[in-house]
Amino acid sequence: MPEPRTVALVTLGCARNEVDSEELAGRLEADGWRLVDDAAAADVAVVNTCGFVEAAKKDSVDALLEANDLKGHGRTQAVVAVGCMAERYGKELADALPEADGVLGFDDYADISNRLQTILSGGHVEAHTPRDRRTLLPLTPVERQAAAAEVALPGHGAPEDLPEGVAPASGPRALRKRLDDSPVASVKLASGCDRRCSFCAIPAFRGSFVSRRPSDVLNEAVWLAGQGVSEIVLVSENNTSYGKDLGDIRLLETLLTEIAAVEGVERVRVSYLQPAEMRPGLIDAMTGTAKVAPYFDLSFQHSAPAVLRRMRRFGSTDQFLDLLKTIRDKAPEAGVRSNFIVGFPGETAEDFAELERFVSHARLDAIGVFGYSDEDGTEAAGFENKLPEDVVAERLATLSRLAEELTAQRAEERIGTEVLVLVESVEDGVVEGRAAHQAPETDGLTTLLGVEDAEIGRYYRARVVGTEGVDLVAELLPVEDAPAGAEALVSAVGAGGSE
């Protein structure tokens, strides 16, 4: 019997890419490929690239070159690029990077096994010609669901999309294969974006906004819980738009309750929220539903009205502060993170001062700051009044320093509060995890003190006793001090028992 073909998936970029990689893994395993962790042990190394900003694109190219260096020194025979950068640049990337044996777009995903086999056998798969994927679906959102079946939407796969006669080796209910054993997993709510932010290229290569069916999202959450996942992170380019193409913009509120009720799920987190689309019902659901983390990943980007208008966005410092007050009136300990762009074309010193004012009053837990740079194909790339690079760099440094100081202060405000910590690593006696206001990868961590034989994937009730920058130090609460009920999963551990 011939040895199975082997493939390694190397994933760069955001959580949405991680979901796409696990769908590719599900398809490949179902068609007989053996998945390996180490690219050097794989016949084919598949690099799921990121094409968001220049630094991410460089990381993607570096990963492809690193995988290419394995050829001739181990088992690796081919290196293939997939993901956003491959979709965005297609043949241009293939021409510029001959080290890649294949550059596959989203349309290749459904037939990924045959594509890789062709490449592995020495054949040629033509790199696709990039196109504006927003043109592939009807302009009116409610007309898209019927047409979406004919368009490649990574991360939307369902079991019926598998080759005839096979089922996912990892379970019958999801077109997905887990690539790690983390207690946290992302679930894609939707793909694409209908917003037209002048600095962003994502809609052009990810396409128009398309929601997944609620039943598919819920079934995937059930499947993941069966795989040992206890925290579900809902991701898309814009979660606040979920359901608009299904005829009900309030679907997310209902879905949150249903996912939180799944056996084995102890925390549900929503990411990628648009401030201009936040509505009272969604805030209520995110602050008042048991097991839903009161965590708000709000994409503010700026707060000066003139800059926001040029970005084709909405809002102002005072409107954003009012939104945060509404959230904290309902959940005082809610976590909030955001990203900001400084040095946008036409940004004045007054505009920058207005952004500093907002950041100084917003009490954000985590802040990402980026200096503006032109992105291919965006409206802003053609704007006049570009700021000199040294001015952009100075403002980037200034706001970054302010953000570091303010987020550390916000962490200190949490001293004395109770947190529910999901343990994710135990190494050399150091127990680390995340509280409800800390999202995976992007935010701070919590070091847990006073727990013996800590278990990865378990939740512990603790009290914050110190900070290290944005990170917290928390001490396990004794059993008698921990609240009763399913949400206080710590209790028996403190007494030496089990859940």
What does the CA dihedral 61, 62, 64, 66 come to, rounded to 10 degrees? 170
Query: Cα 214 to chain center, whole Å?
Result: 19
**Binding-site residues for [4Fe-4S] cluster:** 14, 50, 84, 193, 197, 200
The rounded distance, in Å, linking the Cα atoms of 86 and 49 is 7
414 contacts 467 by C-beta, under 8 angstroms:
yes
Longest dimension (CA), the chain: 71
Q: What's the chain's length in residues? A: 499
* CA 156 vs CA 142, 171, 173, 187: distances in Å: 18, 17, 13, 10
163 contacts 31 by C-beta, under 8 angstroms:
yes
The rounded distance, in Å, linking the Cα atoms of 13 and 15 is 7
Strand order in the sheet with 231-235: 184-188, 231-235, 267-270
Residue 235 three-state SS: strand
The rounded distance, in Å, linking the Cα atoms of 124 and 74 is 22
**Binding-site residues:** 14, 50, 84, 193, 197, 200
What does the CA dihedral 59, 65, 71, 74 come to, rounded to 10 degrees? -40
458 contacts 184 by C-beta, under 8 angstroms:
no
- Cα angle 151, 156, 159 (rounded to 5 degrees) comes to 110
- Cα angle 146, 147, 151 (rounded to 5 degrees) comes to 135
320 contacts 336 by C-beta, under 8 angstroms:
no
- Cα angle 56, 58, 59 (rounded to 5 degrees) comes to 65
Where do we find the tokens 């077109």?
Answer: 175
Which stretch of DSSP H or E encloses residue 214? helix 214-226
Closest CA to 306 of 271, 345, 278, 267: 345
The rounded distance, in Å, linking the Cα atoms of 34 and 44 is 11
399 contacts 371 by C-beta, under 8 angstroms:
no
Closest CA to 247 of 164, 334, 142, 128: 142
